[in-house]
Amino acid sequence: MTFSDIFKSSFLDNVTSVSVLDMVLTMALAFCLGMFIFLIYKKTYSGVMYSSSFGVTLVALTMITSLVILAVTSNVVLSLGMVGALSIVRFRTAIKEPLDIAFLFWAIAVGIVLAAGMIPLAVFGSVVIGIILLVFANHKDSSNPYIVVLNCNDHASETAAVDYLKKNTKKCTVKSKTARQGNVELSMEVRLNDDNTDFVNTLSQIAGVQSAVLVSYNGDYMG
C-alpha cells in the first residue's frame, strides 16, 4: 500500500460521508430550534441581571453540538478521537441561576437528537419543554416567602405593626430585631394571602412606623 492509497482511503471517503443536504438541513434546523430555546429563555428569565450573551450561547451550543454529532455518526474512528478530545475540556464559568443548567442541557440534547436524524422528536420535544417552562417559570405563587423590613419609633408602634401583619398575611415570623434609642428595626418573613401588596401602604401609615419595605425572596436572590 502506497502513501497515495492511504490518503485516498482516509480522506476522500470522509469528504462524501455526509451529504450536503444533510449538513444544510441539520444546521438550519439547529439554528431555528436554538432561536426557539433562546426566546423561551428570554420569556422565562427571572434572575437579577439578564445576560444576552448566554442566550446567544444557547443558539451556538445547539449548532455546535449538531455539527459534532453529525461528524461522529459518520465515522466510528472519528467518534473515538472526539470523545478523547472532549474529555480534556474543562468549563470554569459559574452558573448563577439553577434554571440555566436546564437550558444548557436542552440545547445540547436538541443538537444531539437533530444530528441523529430524529427531527420530529427534536421539534416536538422542544415545543413541549418550551410550553412547560413558560407555564411553570412564569407562575407567580402568592405563598412564596417575602421579607418585610419595619422601622418603628417605639414598642407600641412595633406591636401595632406586627398585629396588623398577622391579620393580613398567612404567616408572619420574626427573623431579626434591632433595637436602638428611639428606633426599632424588624425583619419578618411573611406569606401573602394573595398577590395584593397594598397592605404595605397601610402598614407605613400606622402611627410610629417610619418605613415599611417588602422584599421578594426565593432563596437565591433578593429583588
Strand 209-216: give its sheet, edge to edge. 169-180, 183-192, 145-152, 209-216
Residue 223 contacts residue 144 (beta carbons within 8 Å): no
Q: By three-state DSSP, how is residue 39 classified?
A: helix
- Cα 84 to Cα 42, 80, 88, 115: the distances in Å are 35, 7, 7, 20
Which cell goes with 202?
397601610
Angle between helices 76-86 and 52-74 (to 10 degrees): 140
Render each residue's pLDDT in the chain as its tens digit; 223 residues.
454 554 445 544 555 566 778 788 889 999 999 999 999 998 888 766 677 788 888 999 899 888 888 877 766 555 555 655 555 556 566 666 778 888 889 998 998 888 888 889 999 999 999 999 888 876 655 567 888 888 888 888 888 888 888 888 888 888 888 888 878 888 888 888 777 788 888 888 888 888 888 887 654 444 4
Q: What is the CATH number of domain 145-216?
A: 3.30.70.260
Answer yes or no: pTM beyond 0.75.
no
Which cell goes with 222?
433578593
Q: Where are the domains of the chain?
A: 3-137, 145-216
